[in-house]
Amino acid sequence: MMRQYELVEKVKAYNPHTDEALLNRAYVYAMRAHGNQKRASGAPYISHPLEVAAILTDLKLDDATIVAALLHDTIEDTETTREEIDKLFGSQIGRLVEGLTKIQKLDLVSKKAAQAENLRKLLLAIADDVRVLLIKLADRLHNMRTLHHMAEAKRARIAEETLDIYAPLAGRMGMQDLREELEDLAFRHFSPDAYQAIIHRLEELSEKSEPVIERIEKELTQKLSASGIHASVKGRMKRAYSIWKKMERKSVSFEQLSDIFGFRVVVDRLEDCYATLGIVHTTWQVVPGRFKDYISTSKQNDYRSIHTTVVGPGKQRVELQIRTEEMDRIAEYGIAAHAIYKDGRALPLSSRDSVESNVYAWLRRTLETLSEGDSAEEFLEHTKLELFHDQVFCFTPKGQLITLPQNATPIDFAYAVHTNIGDTAVGAKVNGVLVPLVSTLRNGDEVEIVRAEGQTPPSAWEEIVVTGKARAAIRRATRAAVRKQYAGLGQKIIERAFERIGKEYTDQRLKAVLPRLARASLEDVLAAVGRGEMYSGDVVKAVYLDYREEQSAGAGANLAEGGWFGMKGGQGLVFKVPGSSEGDGGGELSRAIPIRGIGGDLPVQFSPNGGAVPGDRIIGILTPGIGITIYPIQSPALTAFDDEPERWLDVRWDIDERHPQRFPAQLNVTVINEPGALAQVAGVIGENDGNIDSMSLAGKTADYRDMVINLEVWDLKHLNSIISQLKTKSVISAVERVNG
């Protein structure tokens, strides 16, 4: 176990001006706060914060970070408060410790929601001071190193969380060594059999390959030295988790992997990187397609290096990384490398110009998603998508570099440029050629997005895109479009409810009574009425407190009596008896909600059993969460709603002759059981411009077959014409329309 004096010595080794008294005071406070608490291993709990602080000394971090590491569990696991930390150690350290405290007092239903809320809190704290993340990663690293002391069930869950969030988060912050250790430790517990199998193979290979690694190191060092380049060449085998992921991704066996060896070449100057590359490529054969220049175009975590793969001595394929010492420091320490010491004192990370680094740009984008109010689960999914990806570099027509994940589409590109560009995208040109929006982008592509104002992204795009930003934006746009439809329907319903009692509807009157309706905005009320969550009569009563609603008898009785019917509940149903002209009724009919079809401004669907077509007298039933379901007036299904008058709507057809569309209908057809009967039925429907949507066998005897045919027609006249034509066929025994 690390001792306090050893920790102080480690800090003094890189920061001679450290506040030794502060470090000792923090240690004593943490030891007393944790008291007799024990780790799962049986060790005193204080051993954990000491080890976490020791990990951070390897990153050469400042006193405040080391002290916060010593205190990081005090608020969460002891009686300590934030106010007490502030008083004894200052508000800066208090903020760091509080940022590391998990959310405990939320009544969350699922562990996934709890995990998401804790990640949300952590990222907010990181945005305020990135040292919170460094302590959290060190905390997770030590917990993973001692995970074998935990119960087996907990091990798998913690290992999975580490692979899902903390290891890729370390990678996003540029801390590759820490990421690789987290991955290997998690892999050991998440898939122990696979881990042991790969470790066993690596141990066997290591014995055979050690001379080869030494030979390549020596030969390359000599060649570079002969050219006047001072370089450090280090070879190593890849880690178990990295090998396992590659085997899974490429569906290959261990024997088929050809680049298990990796070499890091560290030189003094930037120009030496490219000179080294030239020497390597002229000495050994290059493997095509395995060259990447992350110096010219750095990764989003500020990683810079040249990667290339060659066939080295003994025909062994080896991967080389070529970089300067500064690049190597950033590759190893990531964002922690921005902590620069002057006169032995650390400048706080939060005050460095690293605030404008690519890492911080990613944090800002992630926090934009936080502020847009997505659910906890959606936020967690978005963050995971952002953490996991290799990169593709594309350009706008003006030369702006856009970094995307592999397999990204022009839709992802559009949303990466700006959310509004994604929402209005209708097409794309890649390198000057029109391509589908679902195309896969490649390195170096120039992408131009074709836009159309007023466009709403289809919800199906959510399954196509690969970036969290695009997926979250599409969800929001889809929800907004649906909400707008419900609000439009709600406004029509409320306007007709006011007309019915001889009052004029205005937005101002409704806004004045929002507290009575327990809604925050006008749109909330309109959408609630449109969804069927709020009754329009209640809205009228909120505005006119003396309003008393009158209801008539049920619809079934009215249909039987004939004549004009009274109002049906609060939604203003007015309709006429069969046989009356659709043009009759004057003002009553003009108040009916116009229906064109699916895909318009209102959330509309048609009766699932029989549909409805223009020419039918129709009734609208408001279904909560769905919108309006349209039924023909003769549908027997309407009797099921007699006891729910508030759901009935007055609707009418409003067909746009410039843009005709088909409507659903259903037929029951009985045909004689003989070859070719089905072909004759389909032939009649096709010859008469009908469109068969689906067909099923409803029953059969030795002589007859009963079929249910769902088809689409222009209107009632068109449907009746098809029925008449079907009846002329000798093979058809009976045809009737289904009125569901």
Q: Which residues are catalytic?
A: 76-77
How many Cβ atoms sit within 10 Å of the Cβ of residue 523? 15
How many Cβ atoms sit within 10 Å of the Cβ of residue 341? 14
Contacts of residue 218, Cβ cutoff 8 Å, sequence gap at least 6: none
Name the burial class of residue 222, with classes exposed (0-12), middle (13-18) and buried (19+) by CB atoms within 10 angstroms of its CB. exposed
User: How far apart, in whole angstroms, are the C-alpha atoms of residue 668 and residue 676?
Assistant: 18
Q: Which of 162, 113, 157, 164 is nearest to 136 (CA)?
A: 162
Cα 176 from chain centre: 25
Q: CB–CB of 176/334 below 8 Å?
A: yes
Structural tokens at position 356? 């404008």
Provide the b/e sequence for 74-109 (b: ≥16 CB within 10 Å). bbeebebeeeebbeebeeebbbbbbbbbeeeeeeee
Q: Name beta bridge partners: 263.
A: 235, 320
Q: CB–CB of 272/232 below 8 Å?
A: no
Contacts made by residues 422-425, CB under 8 angstroms, sequence distance 24+: 422/457, 422/470, 422/473, 422/474, 423/455, 423/456, 423/457, 423/473, 423/477, 424/451, 424/452, 424/453, 424/454, 424/455, 425/449, 425/450, 425/451, 425/455, 425/457
User: How far apart, in whole angstroms, are the C-alpha atoms of residue 465 and residue 484?
Assistant: 24
- Indicate the length of the chain as a whole number: 740
CA-CA distances (angstroms) from residue 216 to 210, 275, 315, 546, 687? 10, 18, 12, 93, 77
Phi, psi of 351 (to 5 degrees): -105, 0
Phi, psi of 433 (to 5 degrees): -115, 130
Q: Which of 378, 390, 228, 258 is nearest to 319 (CA)?
A: 258
Q: Which of 645, 598, 601, 623 is nearest to 531 (CA)?
A: 623
Phi-psi region of 584 (alpha: psi -120 to 50; beta: other; left: phi over 0): beta
Pairing of strands 604-606, 627-632: parallel
Q: CB–CB of 529/483 below 8 Å?
A: no
Phi, psi of 41 (to 5 degrees): -75, -10
Q: CB–CB of 61/134 below 8 Å?
A: yes
User: How far apart, in whole angstroms, are the C-alpha atoms of residue 24 and residue 18?
Assistant: 11
User: How far apart, in whole angstroms, are the C-alpha atoms of residue 11 and residue 23?
Assistant: 10
Q: CB–CB of 257/243 below 8 Å?
A: yes
